[in-house]
Amino acid sequence: MTPRPRGADLLISARRVLTAQGIRPATVAVAGEVVSDILPYADTAPAGAALVELAGDEVLLPGLVDTHVHVNEPGRTDWEGFASATSAAAAGGVTTIIDMPLNSLPPTTDVAALQVKRAAAQLQCHVDVGFWAGAIPGNEADRRPLHQAGVFGFKCFMTDSGVPEFAPVDAAGLAQAAADAARLGSLLVVHAEDAAHIGHVCGPDYAAFLRSRPQEAETAAITRVVEVARRTGARVHILHLSAATALPVIAAARRQGLAVTAETCPHYLALAAEDIPAGATEFKCCPPIRDRANRELLWDGLRAGIIQCVVSDHSPCPPALRRRQDGDFSAAWGGISSLQLSLPVVWTRARERGCTLADVAGWMAAGPARLAGLSGKGAIAPGKDADLIAFAPDEVFTVDPSTLRHRHPVTPYAGERLTGVVRRAWLRGRVLTAGQHGRQPAGRLLRPTGADHA
User: Which sequence spans correspond to the domains of the chain?
Assistant: 10-54, 63-375+394-416
Q: pTM for the full model? A: 0.95
Neighbours of 69 (CB within 10 A): 26
pLDDT per residue over 168-185, tens digit each? 999 999 999 999 999 999
Q: If we measure between CA atoms, which residue out of 288, 420, 276, 405 comes closest to residue 351?
A: 420
Give me the mean pLDDT over the 105-123 stretch.
97
In this model, does residue 436 exceed pLDDT 90?
no
Neighbours of 327 (CB within 10 A): 19
What does pLDDT average to over the chain? 93
What do you get for the CA distance between the two ends of the chain, in Å?
41
SS3 string of 262-291? EEECHHHHHCCHHHCCCCCHHHCCCCCCCC
Band of the pLDDT at 344, cuts 50, 70, 90?
very high
pLDDT for residue 45 = 52
pLDDT for residue 166 = 98
> Does domain 63-375+394-416 correspond to CATH entry 1.10.10.10?
no
Q: How large a percentage of the chain has pLDDT more than 70? A: 94
pLDDT per residue over 286-343, tens digit each? 999 999 999 999 999 999 999 999 999 999 999 999 988 888 998 999 999 999 999 9
Is residue 452 within 8 Å of residue 444, measured between CB atoms?
A: yes
> Is omega for the bond preceding 287 within 30 degrees of 0, making it cis?
yes
Band of the pLDDT at 440, cuts 50, 70, 90?
confident
Residues with Cβ within 8 Å of residue 316, at least 6 apart in sequence? 70, 72, 79, 80, 335, 337, 406, 407, 408, 410
Band of the pLDDT at 200, cuts 50, 70, 90?
confident
Q: If we measure between CA atoms, which residue out of 56, 51, 58, 62 comes closest to residue 18?
A: 62
Is residue 92 within 8 Å of residue 338, measured between CB atoms?
A: no
pLDDT per residue over 74-111, tens digit each? 999 999 999 999 999 999 999 999 999 999 999 999 99
pLDDT for residue 201 = 82
